[in-house]
Amino acid sequence: MPATARKRSLARLQFDQLENRLVLIPFAIGERVDGTILQLGEADAFTFHGSPAQRLYLDGISGFPLGTAMLTSPSGARLFELDPTWDSNTLTVTEPGTYQLRIAGEYGSTGAYAFRLLDLADAPVVVFDATVSGTFVPHESNLYQFRGAAGMQLNLEWLTRFPPNGGDWTLYGPGNQEISGGMNGTDRGLTLHGEGVYAIEVGNASTGLPIDYQFSLRDMRT
């Protein structure tokens, strides 16, 4: 089946009022998902298997007014509920089993949406003082990871200059806390306060063409 057709057929959650039945369709972490909520009460649900210590990130690409994206754990705990156009912080999975990411509209709202659910373990590893190259797809985010220690002094240096509204970047700590961030193209000194794997998210807010970029994470101890 062509990729476009597969995306359109992915995970239509239909609520059968006669049988009170939910139909859940699995999807692959990292895959871009495009869908549309067409009518009142309709929702799309996507399921995947999560493992303890896995760190995930929702890349909200597009959405519609009064839309919601909600992630629930195997025990039913709500991990987040936000606008489908928003990105989540990184989060750490604590339960093994099947998770559900559900897209729906409140008060009868309908419309198209797109998202990716990313696994930090799949993100490229940043080598200190080396040049990192990438490409922004409009409205998508890219993740990077590196291992840091308390007291490290780093400097994020952009080697690319961006147009206005060219997006922004965020640094998340090992506990998924937001440590720093700024507009793409803005250099920033960083001080780390703990041992573990850090995540850098860089996002593109542009609706135009893809943008190539480069940055370097400098270790100021060397």
Residue ranges and CATH numbers for the domains of the chain are 3-120 (2.60.120.380), 123-219 (2.60.120.380)
For 61: left if phi > 0, alpha if psi spans -120 to 50, otherwise beta; the answer is: alpha
- Specify the pLDDT at position 125: 98
Q: How far is CA 210 from the centre of its chain?
A: 18
**Which regions in the chain score pLDDT beneath 50?**
1-22
Burial class (CB in 10 A: 0-12, 13-18, 19+), 215: buried
- Specify the pLDDT at position 168: 86
The residues pairing with 71 across neighbouring beta strands, listed in sequence order, are: 80, 101
φ, ψ for residue 106, nearest 5 deg = -90, 150
CB atoms inside a 10 Å sphere around CB 97: 12
- Specify the pLDDT at position 186: 85
- Specify the pLDDT at position 216: 96
**CA 178, CA 197: separation in Å to the nearest integer?**
13
Q: CA geometry: angle at 140 spanning 135 and 146, to 5°?
A: 70
Provide the pairing of β-strand 131-136 with 211-219: antiparallel
- Specify the pLDDT at position 119: 98
Tokens describing residue 154: 């780093």
Task: Return the beta strands (E) in the chain as ranges.
Answer: 25-26, 33-37, 43-50, 55-62, 67-72, 78-82, 91-92, 97-105, 111-119, 131-136, 141-148, 153-158, 168-172, 178-183, 188-191, 196-203, 211-219
- Specify the pLDDT at position 196: 97
For 62: left if phi > 0, alpha if psi spans -120 to 50, otherwise beta; the answer is: beta
- Specify the pLDDT at position 183: 86
- Specify the pLDDT at position 9: 42
Residue 74's identity, in one-letter code, is P
**Please, what is the end-to-end C-alpha distance for the chain in angstroms?**
52
In the chain, % helix, strand, coil (3-state, to 5) comes to: 5, 50, 45
Report the predicted TM-score, pTM, of the whole model to 2 decimal places. Answer: 0.85
Q: How far is CA 108 from the centre of its chain?
A: 26
- Specify the pLDDT at position 7: 45
